[in-house]
Structure 1
Amino acid sequence: MGVHIRQATGADRDVVVGVLHKAFRTDPVSQWVFPDPGHRDQVHPHMMGAFTDLVLAAGRVDLADEGAAAALWLDTPAGAPEPDDGPAQLRAALDPYNERIELIASLTTQTHPHHEAHLYLWMIGVHPDWQGEGLGSALMTPVLERCDREGKAAYLEASSTRSRELYRRLGFADHGTPLRLPYGGPLMYPMWRAPQG
């Protein structure tokens, strides 16, 4: 399968936000954060926009086939991160009465490893029309190959058992105990990939 992948720029912001919204709209974690579908349709794109803006400014966004899939990567140094009020600001800006926006950031920060520098896959989304066609693997493989060449680890949190299996095929392994979101929420699976070869 020939997949065209390029690094996104600010001019691609709306395309990236669109594919992430469509890819994650029915994801178990997004459904937990925004249980009401109508409210989710209103607020979820803005949350994907905030994530995209952050990674365009501080990391790398890869785009496949002009909007079929996108991946957000952050280079993460070793050591505990500085205190950050970003999640509180995001909640205040998007959905002030929704504590889950802030809560999920706090919980994933607690499970995020800081023992060595790594590349963090914040999220990867494939448009629903293209899921199951290998785009996710194609989008991740060049970055993981670069990690292998440079001797760098990678980390992510899988938000479903389906994505967890994809990541296992790409060399990721479970890292610690799965994170159970409160209030009857789904499991998230922290996963670590040591450099291969």
Structure 2
Amino acid sequence: MTLDKIRPAETGDIDSAADVLAAAFSDYAWTRHTIAADDHQRRVRDLQRLFIERIGLPHGRVWVADGPDGVVAAAVWTTPDSTGIGEAFAELAELTPALAGDRAAAAASAEAAMAPHRPAEPVWFLATVGVHPDHQGKGLGRAIVEPGLAAAEAAGVPAFLETSEQANVRFYERLGFTVTAEVQLPDGGPTTWAFRRG
């Protein structure tokens, strides 16, 4: 693995980080279930871009990994010490049905199914993380997640995440997470696991 660095993201990284996350999530079970197949890649990219721009950078923490040709991985966390995040999520909620398209109802029911399994107490929430497919299998997944884990641990706050890929379960367990829920999403959706660390 050759990396220049893993660093906090800046505004100028929004588009490249969104491109990376869109590539990483193009065939992800959750997004396939909750975002329309029509122009799917563009919809996923627009959603990731909105999340980075409206939630991650102003209200949370975002890290990116630089490779020889630019950003190759990104991790977006929400944190308990941000202000105004409720309003930001409300604004995002108004925009997401259009991006979900004909999967908007499925997206809403998936969120409702996961809501009871999300922590009520303050946590660092790994909202989205991805490595460009051309750079997977090189240890970047662990490397891009570790700054957030260290920050959460330093703050004395648990970390939380969800995944809809069985292959990710063991990966997150090796990072010290424990499965707290295994949920079969309604409307033919995928199994989704909730995890907590700390």
Give the TM-score taking structure 2 as reference length.
Answer: 0.84
Residue 33 (structure 1) aligns with: 34
1:182: Cα distance to partner?
1.3
1:113: Cα distance to partner?
0.8
Q: CA RMSD in A?
A: 2.3
Task: Note if 1:23 corresponds to 2:24.
Answer: yes
Please point out which of 136, 159, 176 is paired with 1:171. Answer: 176
Residue 148 (structure 2) aligns with: 143
- Gaps in structure 1 of 5+ consecutive residues: none
CA deviation map 1:50-86 (0-9, x unaligned): 2112211211110012311000011136xxx969644
What are the residue-to-residue correspondences of 1:178-197 with 2, within 5 Å? Answer: 178-194=182-198
Residues 85 and 105 of structure 1: CA distance in aligned 2, closer, same or farther (over 3 Å): farther
Please point out which of 151, 157, 172 is paired with 2:162. Answer: 157
Residues 30 and 70 of structure 1: CA distance in aligned 2, closer, same or farther (over 3 Å): same
Residues 164 and 120 of structure 1: CA distance in aligned 2, closer, same or farther (over 3 Å): same
1:2: Cα distance to partner?
5.2
SS at match of 1:117: coil
Contact 2:113 2:186 in 1 (8 A): no
Please point out which of 67, 73, 80 is paired with 1:76. Answer: 80
Please point out which of 110, 124, 130 is paired with 2:116. Answer: 110
Distance 2:91 2:182 in 1: 24
Residues 82 and 49 of structure 1: CA distance in aligned 2, closer, same or farther (over 3 Å): closer
Contact 2:59 2:78 in 1 (8 A): yes
Distance 1:87 1:40 in 2: 18
Distance 1:96 1:67 in 2: 29
Which region of structure 1 is more displaced relative to structure 2, 102-111 or 13-22? 102-111
Contact 2:158 2:197 in 1 (8 A): yes
1:102 maps to amino acid: A
Residue 96 (structure 2) aligns with: 91
Residues 181 and 162 of structure 1: CA distance in aligned 2, closer, same or farther (over 3 Å): same
Distance 1:110 1:88 in 2: 18
Contact 1:28 1:160 in 2 (8 A): yes
Residues 95 and 120 of structure 1: CA distance in aligned 2, closer, same or farther (over 3 Å): closer
SS at match of 1:122: strand
Distance 1:61 1:125 in 2: 12
Residues 110 and 85 of structure 1: CA distance in aligned 2, closer, same or farther (over 3 Å): farther
- Equivalences, count: 188
Residue 126 (structure 2) aligns with: 121
Give the TM-score taking structure 1 as reference length.
Answer: 0.84
SS at match of 1:152: coil
